Structure 1
Amino acid sequence: MVHYQARLDATFAALSDVTRRGVLEQLAGSDASITDLADRFQMTLTGMKKHISVLEQAGLVTTEKVGRVRTCKLGRRRLEEEAAWIERHRQLWSARFDALDTIVEHLKRKEKADASSK
C-alpha cells in the first residue's frame, strides 16, 4: 500500500504543475532536448532540469545523454493506477451527487405540493 501511495503522490505532484504538463504534451509529439524544452517554455536550463527531474522520478519521462545533449522522451509508465484511482473517486462523487439530486427533487415536489394545498 505504501508503494502504491508513494507512486500516486509522485505522479500527482508531477502533474500538478502547468509547465510539467506542458512538457508532457510536447514530448507526446516528439522527443526533445532539455535545451529545446527550456527555450519553448522560456525558462532557464536549470529550471527545466528541475522539472524534468520531477517527471523522471514519477516515471513519466526518461532522459538519455548522447555527447553533450540530454534528450527527453515520454516514459514507459502508463497511468492505469492513477486512472483507476480517479475513476473510483469519480464514481463515489457521482453517486453522492445523484443522491443529492434525488433529495432536491423530493423537496421540490413537497414544496410544490404544500403550495398547492394552501
Structure 2
Amino acid sequence: MPIDATLPYDTDNIFARILRNEIPARTVYEDDYALAFHDINPQAPTHILVIPKGAYVSWDDFSARANDAEIAGFVRAVGHVARAAGLVEPGYRLLANAGPDSHQEVPHLHVHVFAGRPLGPMLSKT
C-alpha cells in the first residue's frame, strides 16, 4: 500500500523522538497505540496532541497501512483524552493537518485537541 508521498516519514521528527523518550513531553495519556501530551506552543487554553505510536505520516497513510487494532486504539485514545480532560460538555475541536497545503509541520500523524474557549469559525476567509 502506498505511503503519503507528499511528506515522507522522517524517523528523526520531534514526535518520533518523543516516542523514543529522547525528548521530554508533558504526557496526559499513553497506551499501546497512542501517546497524548500538551503542545509546547499552545494555540488555545487546552491544546493536546495525540499521536499514534506507529510511523505514519497522515490519515491517508494511517488508514492504508495501520492494522485494525491500531486504528481502533488511536481513535479511542483521542476520545479518551477529550473525556478525561472534561472537554465533552463545553466542546472541543479536533484538527489533523496532512501535507503542505494544510501546513503540516511534523511528518507524523497527529491530532490537535483544542478547547478552553470559543474557537470561532473553522477556517478564516483569507
Same fold (TM > 0.5):
no
Hey, which of these two has a bigger chunk of helix by percent? 1
Hey, which of these two has a bigger chunk of strand by percent? 2
Using CA pairs under 8 Å that are at least 6 residues apart, name the structure with larger relative contact order, 1 or 2: 2
**TM-score under structure 2 normalisation?**
0.25
Higher Cα radius of gyration: 1
**TM-score under structure 1 normalisation?**
0.26
